[in-house]
Amino acid sequence: MPNDTRASLPAGPDPSLVERYRLLSGSHGTVRAGGAYTPAGGRLVAPAKRRGVSVRHLLGPKWRTARARSAQVEKGRGARFAVMGLIGLCFWAFAFGVLYKVLTYFRGVQEIGPLLAGKLLGLLLLSFVSILLLSNVITSLSSFFLARDLDLLVSAPVDWFAIYSAKLFETTLHSSWMVVLLAIPMLSAYGVAYDGGIGFPFIAIAAFLPFLVIPSVIGSAITLVLVNIFPARRTRDILSVITVLAGAGVVILFRLMRPEKLVRPEGFRSLVEFISVLRGPTSPALPSEWLQRTLMGWLTGHFDVLPLYLLWTTAAALVVLGALLHRSLYAIGFTKAQESAQQSVKSSGKQSLLAHLLTPLGIMRRELVLKDIRVFFRDTTQWSQLILLAVLVVVYVVNIKFLPLTGDGITFFIVNLIPFLNLGLAGFVLASIAARFLFPGVSLEGRSWWLLRSSPMSMRELLWSKFWVGTLPLLVLALTIVVVTNALLQVTPFMFAVSIGSITMLTFAIAGLAIGFGTLYPRFETENAAQIPTSFGGLMFMMTAVMVIGGVIFLEARPVYSYLSSRLYGSADSAFNAREMITGFGLATLLCLMATFVPLRLAERRLEALER
């Protein structure tokens, strides 16, 4: 019977097979002392000796995934990385250059110079600690409680300490890489400006490692406690709000410290008081202070090993305490985090009104916009960021309000220049908001991609819908900020018009960049929307946005300067001014138009080619 496979198929359960199943399940057979047993087939099968699973083994899949991802062949990947690398290098060069210039100036100031440099480093590191702590709290929730590999790890006979170590390592890595990237040009500038020598990089690395571990352990512990205290499932929501409130608190605290006092020594009663403020530690019990003392000690030739010792011992002690806490609370917390909660949503009058208002968009766009709005306001991890946004805006406006725009040396020129330069700040605030709210737009569609892709909706439609949903609120916010701050500054109608025009163009550009970069560097698999802006693509977006803002200011600076000069001295040639103004503002408009449309066009192409 050629090609007949039927003969080899058993007609019913094979008796010998049934017997072997029994043996393997331990219900029958000869079991010897020591755990070995002889199945019916006569072969001796010794159960594998239980060995502890190493942290390296647990992290292996992550490492291999990252390696496989980097080896993936994809069209245009090389070009994307080249652009990314170039933007990154430009940013590093810019950060290094600015800081190096500042530090060189400080170095030339007798006595106070090193104190100012140390104070500046302390403040920068303090902001790093805050960022690291917040980032670790958010990341540890995902890595310790929501990650998809946890079911496998928790159900396997893996030692609790191995899970803790692997997840802590993962949390530290995910939350810290951005700070490390920012720290490289910063510490390089300090090392070069103060001739740190060949030993400085080693000291910097040795001191920076425990500096990263400390907030990671504390952040993970905070999350662990919260997951145990709050009702299951709500933990994530509560955590988001707490994290954002903490972030807001840090921003306000930083504002209350009034760092601007340091650059206005005349505000102090005497030089002695000023120096004593500079000499005094910003926060003696914080790791940022220890790191600052280690680094500045090395750079100024007064190296003291105590702060480095404090960093390492604190990190080690915290890891031990964190591990003990993990052993006591993790099992309960993990169980709680798996439970789901029912949440009813009845359609409200507000929703019907919104649906009615959006009717002119057409059914498809209206439903897409409504869906985005509903998902946004029902996801605490997303809307809670609005609190931080509100704080950012308030701090920004308050800063403008308290600017010392009267007194000696404050000229008409400065008063009019400040609103212009403030465009840059307002642009930066908008870029931060866009990174948080617009950038993740396409990534968040990842898991439902099958639905959008199989529906009769074009990718252009999807992108533009995302663009307008994000841009309109952003534009309202941008105009409010600029109008309020300009009113507070009592600027001239010319500067008012320049500000309004520029911020409108910048808003469109920033929104285009955010949607574009968010599509070009998507994070489809992420569990937490708050993590998307901290991805590499998010960083690229922020850098590009800063460059575009800088470019617009640079292009408009000359015509604005000429105009203000002509107003002040009445000597400039008005015909020349008009030509200069048209060129400057024309190029700025072109830059903004390119920043709006080019990323969206590239994003559209990428979405068309995307296969998931």
Partner 1 sequence: MIELTQITKKYGSFTAVDAIDLFVPKGELFGFLGPNGAGKTTTLRMIAGILRPTAGTVKVAGYDLARDAIAAKARLGFIPDRPFIYEKLTGMEFLRFVAGLYSQDGARVEHRGRELLALFDLEEWRDELVESYSHGMRQKLIISSAFVHRPDVIVVDEPMVGLDPKAAKILKDLFREYTRRGHTIMMSTHTLEVAETLCDRIGIIQGGTMRACGSMDDLRRNAERGDEGLEEIFLRLTGENAARGLVEVLDA
Where does this chain bind partner 1 (CB under 8 A)? 3, 5-6, 8-10, 14, 16-17, 20-21, 24, 39, 41, 43, 45, 73, 340-347, 362-364, 366-368, 370-371, 374-375, 378-379, 447-458, 609, 611-612
CB of 74 to partner 1, least distance (A): 11
Q: Give the whole-angstrom CA distance, residue 409 versus residue 490.
A: 18
- The residues pairing with 37 across neighbouring beta strands, listed in sequence order, are 31, 45
CB of 466 to partner 1, least distance (A): 15
Q: Give the whole-angstrom CA distance, residue 511 versus residue 517.
A: 10
Which residue, 30 or 458, is less far from partner 1 as judged by CB? Answer: 458
CB of 73 to partner 1, least distance (A): 7
CB of 361 to partner 1, least distance (A): 11
3-state DSSP call for residue 527?
Answer: coil
The residue type of 230 is F
Q: Given phi > 0 = left and psi -120 to 50 = alpha, else beta, which region is 522?
A: beta
Q: Give the whole-angstrom CA distance, residue 202 versus residue 190.
A: 14
CB of 508 to partner 1, least distance (A): 27
Do β-strands 37-38 and 30-31 pair in parallel, antiparallel, or remain unpaired? antiparallel
Which residue, 44 or 421, is less far from partner 1 as judged by CB? Answer: 44
Instruction: Judge whether 559 and 581 are in contact, CB under 8 Å.
Output: yes
Closest CA to 211 of 280, 121, 330, 277: 121
CB of 418 to partner 1, least distance (A): 43
CB of 587 to partner 1, least distance (A): 38
Residues in the chain: 612
Which residue, 299 or 369, is less far from partner 1 as judged by CB? Answer: 369
Which residue, 408 or 611, is less far from partner 1 as judged by CB? Answer: 611
Which residue, 453 or 605, is less far from partner 1 as judged by CB? Answer: 453
3-state DSSP call for residue 37?
Answer: strand
CB of 98 to partner 1, least distance (A): 42
Instruction: Judge whether 521 and 537 are in contact, CB under 8 Å.
Output: yes
3-state DSSP call for residue 70?
Answer: helix
The label of the residue with tokens 């292009």 reads 555
CA distances 136 to 158, 217, 235, Å, are 24, 8, 15
CB of 69 to partner 1, least distance (A): 15
Which residue, 206 or 457, is less far from partner 1 as judged by CB? Answer: 457
**Tokens read off for 337:** 């985090």
Which residue, 142 or 422, is less far from partner 1 as judged by CB? Answer: 142
Q: Give the whole-angstrom CA distance, residue 424 versus residue 373.
A: 29
Q: Give the whole-angstrom CA distance, residue 552 versus residue 132.
A: 32
DSSP H stretches of helix in 72-159: 77-108, 112-140, 150-155
Which residue, 302 or 378, is less far from partner 1 as judged by CB? Answer: 378
Which residue, 266 or 611, is less far from partner 1 as judged by CB? Answer: 611
Which residue, 10 or 570, is less far from partner 1 as judged by CB? Answer: 10
Instruction: Judge whether 466 and 438 are in contact, CB under 8 Å.
Output: yes
- Could you tell me the sign of the dihedral formed by the alpha carbons of 406, 412, 416, 417, in that order? negative
DSSP H stretches of helix in 160-198: 160-193
CB of 343 to partner 1, least distance (A): 5
